[in-house]
């Protein structure tokens, strides 16, 4: 594939078709920019996915801790009731 594009580039330069070569060069630049933008979008998507997963883990741990605290408070409340009676 690279040989194909190299031949096109060399042919346009040897035939003094600077306008066509310039169009070809701009097309290559546009393709490279599009590739970079796609790669950046995929990277951003992956980072968001990793952050979301981390947030889910933190929320799960927080839920467990709150449940444990509620259980401990109920136990202490029962102890106080027993001591009161």
In the numeric block, which tokens belong to residue 85? 């009676």
**DSSP for 31-80?**
HHHHHHHHHHHHHHHHHHHHHHHHHHHHHHHHHHHHHHHHHHHHHHHHHH
pLDDT recorded at residue 20: 74
The three-point CA angle 16-33-15 to 5° equals: 10
Going by the DSSP 8-state scheme, the letter that residue 15 receives in this structure is T
Q: Is 0.75 surpassed by the pTM of this model?
A: no
* pLDDT tens track for 39-84: 999 999 999 999 999 999 999 999 999 999 999 999 999 999 888 8
In the numeric block, which tokens belong to residue 4? 């194909």
* pLDDT tens track for 1-10: 677 777 777 7
């Amino acid at each position: 594939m690279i040989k194909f594009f190299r031949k096109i580039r060399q042919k346009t330069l040897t035939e003094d078709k600077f306008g066509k070569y310039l169009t070809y060069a701009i097309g290559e630049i546009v393709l490279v920019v599009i590739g970079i933008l796609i790669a950046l979008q995929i990277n951003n998507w992956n980072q968001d996915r990793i952050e979301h997963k981390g947030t889910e883990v933190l929320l799960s741990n927080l839920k467990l801790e709150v449940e444990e605290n509620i259980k401990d408070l109920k136990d202490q409340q029962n102890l106080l009731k027993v001591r009161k009676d």
